A and B are shown apart, each in its own frame.
Chain A
């Protein structure tokens, strides 16, 4: 991690990494979605509706993984004062918020034909909505603190505290009776038949690569912006 503390070295690695992640992400995501749309069988109970899983589950994963990234960045900022940590946190937030929103929207579209409702205040749905609002709060707080020229320490603390919602989302279907079904994919295996399951890892990897590419792009853009600002200041002075 500390090898990347030097922005110049980070940029040397990030530039090619962005392109590769974009390419791999596109290939995997398109392949997975195409397979999920055409090659897999329908579900015995839900019929064709089940195909939304290939977008819903990766979005849920990235919505949560994004905040895990924010929390990790927060720790490395608070403890080790990593110079790129605040930049990384700010770069992850909009991407994570987008995927949390996609998860909520696809879940709602999925819920209507299966459960018979667009929205219910059950444990899983509510905690996921809270995650989305936490993202909005984080984005607002980060930009406010940055405008005032702060180090982003308050933002980092908020990111760390907000991570407490992650286990709540994860265990909500175990702790409480919910409308949302329990976990399909665990450490010991999956209750999704392999004929339906196999494109899911493709879209998971694909969306994750695209997510990482978006984060790297935003980080590079912010570093470039800072560089321009510094140069303008030097010219002005």
Chain B
């Protein structure tokens, strides 16, 4: 074999081995690298009581309730399989709205997720306002991972 081809084979083999190694590592990280738990994970007991965690899901339509103090809200996050009630005291981002995705940072306390911070999660669709109003009518929960 010519030295040039030998080097080519070597580079290909080394790259292939590295790719396999990285894929294995990523596969191992799969559950740990997730940014948030879903309500189904909570139902399965993956987030211990009082331990800080992130909970992500779709804000259930009609579930957002404002308390009389003006800064506390209650809502329900859902992933289509399970739901978790969330309480939050503070200012939520503009994009936090019913039927949209959200990630809450906080902890579970007696069956309720008490959030210190709310992040809004939007999906990969962008469209002008007139189309957006139509789409909001029959929105599929694509923001959330299957």
Contacts and interface: CB of A to CB of B under 8 A. Distances in A.
Say whether A associates with B: yes
Interface of A: 41-46, 50, 53, 75, 78-80, 113-117, 120-123, 160-161, 164, 167-168, 175-179, 181-184, 191-193, 195-197
B7 A116 contact: no
Interface stretch (B28-36, B44-52, B66-74): B28-36
A53 B127 CA distance: 13
A114 B126 contact: no
Q: What secondary structure prevails in chain B residues at the interface with A?
A: mixed
B119 A117 contact: yes
B145 interface: yes
B126 A75 contact: no
B56 to A, nearest CB: 6
Contacts of A113: 93-94
A101 B34 CA distance: 24
Interface residues of B, number: 47
B137 to A, nearest CB: 12
Contact of B119 (A116, A121, A183): A116
B102 to A, nearest CB: 9
Nearest to A172: B33
A116 B120 contact: yes
Contacts of B33: 123, 175-176
A166 to B, nearest CB: 11
B38 A43 contact: no
Contacts of B133: 44
B122 A114 contact: yes
Contact of B11 (A79, A178, A197): A79
